[in-house]
Amino acid sequence: MRALQLITPGEPLEMREVADPIPGGDEVVIDVKAAGICSSDAHYREGFPQVGPLPLTLGHEVAGVVAAVGPEVAAFTPSDRVCVHYQVGCGRCEYCERRLEMFCPDGRMIGNGRPGGYAEQIMVPERNVIAIPGAVPVEHAAVMMCSSATSLHALRKGRVGAGETVAVFGVGGLGMSAIQLAFIAGAAQVFAVDIKQAKLDAAADLGAIPVDANGDPVAEILAAGGCDVAIDLVGSATVMRQCLDSLAPMGRAVAVGLTADTMAIGPYTDLVSGESEVIGTSDHTVGEIVELLGLAADGRLDLDRVVQRTVPLEEAAVNAALDDLVHFGDTIRTVIAM
């Protein structure tokens, strides 16, 4: 089968012919129908954080149709529409038992530590396969696997409550979900911060208050009373600093994006005086994915505005979409459609 692989960090992905996966035991082989192109993939292609072993097929936002199952698989049969929880754990450790696979010491994420979805097929254990409710398109299910699920988890970790104010820094695939999910969680107002006018307009369409990050977003948010929860979806120490500085008393700044930068925190000035909290959040849980699929099926989570473009599984098109993410282009989410 064809698979789009990272061969050398810093270089474009390359199309390779690889062996078709053959399921044994509890494994499920899925014909990939949709694979979202995430900012993390652009980071992996650049070489930070390091992924492997190389060559590696990227892609961790994956949905499709079951092609074949191993003899121990009970819940799925060929032609079922499914999506993939990207953290594949050992299934036996204390974290896997609690379905917190992101902390499994032997865990491997698809498209990061094991083959991902930029390919005609993907193989994962049955416990990572989730049925797609009837009304939800595969392209939407795919982007929920990272963008929406990670946003939901971040809002939970930030403990967004009824009547609170949320600031979402970075209006990409995650941001567009985070805005909607913040309102679903009961937020009274949501600030959406970005440098791109097209993205600010898209956020405003969802009811968010657009804040142009080319100006002084911190001053603008503080002038409105500050926020209870600020989420950095950009992955930048500068943006995380802005999150912390935008908080109202007892506010929570949540770090989500990937970055190698560091930042200084004043124990008194940043934390004690306002009882501020700095919270890290990693990935999401399979239970959150099931919740999101339900919200999408009910029409409460609108991903039409998130999935703005589809491209074929081809070297040039996918590398160009990754380049667009590196340069903070206008497109919110591109999905490889097959």
Residues lying near Zn ion in the complex (CB under 5 A) are found at 38, 40, 89-90, 93, 96, 104, 146
Least distance between Zn ion and beta carbon 95 (Å)? 5
Least distance between Zn ion and beta carbon 249 (Å)? 33
Q: Rank residues 111 and 158 by Cβ distance to Zn ion and give the closer one.
A: 111
Q: Rank residues 89 and 235 by Cβ distance to Zn ion and give the closer one.
A: 89
Packed helices 149-157 and 173-184: angle between N→C axes, nearest 10 degrees: 50
Q: Rank residues 65 and 90 by Cβ distance to Zn ion and give the closer one.
A: 90
Q: Rank residues 104 and 322 by Cβ distance to Zn ion and give the closer one.
A: 104
Least distance between Zn ion and beta carbon 61 (Å)? 6
Q: What is the DSSP letter of 8?
A: S
Q: Rank residues 240 and 325 by Cβ distance to Zn ion and give the closer one.
A: 325
> Which of 271, 270, 227 is CA-nearest to residue 246?
227
Parallel, antiparallel or unpaired: strands 121-125 and 129-131:
unpaired
Least distance between Zn ion and beta carbon 212 (Å)? 26
Q: Report the 10 Å Cβ neighbour count for 45.
A: 23
Least distance between Zn ion and beta carbon 128 (Å)? 12
Long-range contacts made by residues 196-204, C-beta under 8 angstroms, separation at least 24? Answer: 196/171, 196/328, 196/330, 198/330, 199/171, 199/172, 199/175, 199/330, 199/332, 200/171, 202/171, 202/176, 202/305, 202/332, 203/168, 203/171, 203/175, 203/176, 203/179
